[in-house]
Amino acid sequence: MKGTNLGEFEELLLLIVLILEDQAYVLKIQEEISNQVQRDTSMGALHASLTRLEEKGFLTSEMTGATAERGGRRKRIYQLSSDGKIVLNQVRTQRESLWQQAPKFSLDAYGTI
């Protein structure tokens, strides 16, 4: 089923990578997730998901930017591929269309939180 549907966590990852631009490597992604949505993840788990997204063709990666803190090692910077952008857009359109069809009172009744 590769390349078709986007999981919830995958969607989140793509968005974070988009936000982080050229700083999108595992450590920063982990930090961002923790700050933005208060989720605790491990680098290992992130690595697995990121690799899967790469295999699906939504991400590309590149080894660059060695720093002293890393002991002179390079980091893997992720970027959204065009497929990734397309799929993210698709998800967004779908969601928005769904939101518009939802009756207003349901939100009033249960609140947004």
Partner 1 sequence: MPMEPYNQNGLPRFAELLISRLCKAELQEEILGNLEEAYHAHGRKIRLWRECLLYLRPSCLKSINSSIHHPMFIFNPLLTIRNLRKQGMNTIINIAGFTIGLLCVFFLYFYVSSELKYDTFHKDYHEIYRVLRTAEMNGSPFKIGVTSGPYARALETDFEGKIYTCRASLETSLVKYKDKQFFEEHILFADPDFFTFFSFPLASGDPKDVLSQANNVVFSKALAKKYFGDEDPIGQIIETEGEQFIVTGIMDEIPAKSHLEFNMVLSFAFLDKYEWMSNWWNNGLTTYAKFSSPQDRAYVESQLQWFMEKYMGDDFDQTKSRMGLTLEPLSETYFASDVRYDLARHGDLKSVYILAMVAVAILFIACFNYVNMSVALSFKRAKEVGVRKIMGGRKGRLILQFLGESLMVILTAIVLAGLLSQLFLPIFNGLFGLEVTYDWSDPNILLFMCALVGLVVLSSGVYPAVLLSSFKPLRVMKGEMVKGTKGVLIRKGLVVAQFVIAIFLMAVTFLVTIQISYMKNKELGFNQESIVTIDLNNGDIREQTDTFKERLLSHPAIESVAAVSGEPGGFHDGATIQFKGIDEQLKIRTLFTDYDFLETLNIQLLAGRNFDRSFGADMNGSVLLNRKALEELGMSAEEALGKTVNMPLWDEYDRKIVGIVEDYHFQSLKNPIEPLCIILGGRARKIVVAMQAGNLNQGIEHMNNTWEELIDGFPMHYTFLDESLSRLYENEQKQHRVFTSFSIISLFLATLGIFGLVTYSAQRRQKEFGIRKVLGASVSEILSLISKEFTFLIIVAFMVSIPLAWLFVTNWLQAFSYRIVLQDYWYVFAASGIVSLVVALLTIGFRSLSVALSNPSESIRCE
Could you give the CA distance from residue 79 to residue 81 in angstroms, rounded to a whole number?
Answer: 6
Tokens, residue 71: 């002991």
User: Given candidates 73, 85, 92, 95, which one binds partner 1 under the rule CB under 8 A?
Assistant: 73
Q: 44-81: b or e for each residue (b if 16 or more CB lie within 10 Å)?
A: eebeebbeebbebebbebeeeeeeeeeeeeebbbbebb
The DSSP output letter for 23 is G
Alpha-carbon 92 to chain mean position: 13
Nearer to partner 1 by Cβ, of 75 and 87: the residue is: 75
Q: Is 72 in the site for partner 1 (CB under 8 A)?
A: yes
Nearer to partner 1 by Cβ, of 5 and 51: the residue is: 51
User: Given candidates 37, 48, 86, 107, which one binds partner 1 under the rule CB under 8 A?
Assistant: 48
User: Given candidates 5, 19, 36, 63, which one binds partner 1 under the rule CB under 8 A?
Assistant: 63
Q: Is 44 in the site for partner 1 (CB under 8 A)?
A: yes
- Site residues (vs partner 1, CB under 8 A): 25-27, 42-45, 47-48, 51-52, 63, 66-67, 69-76
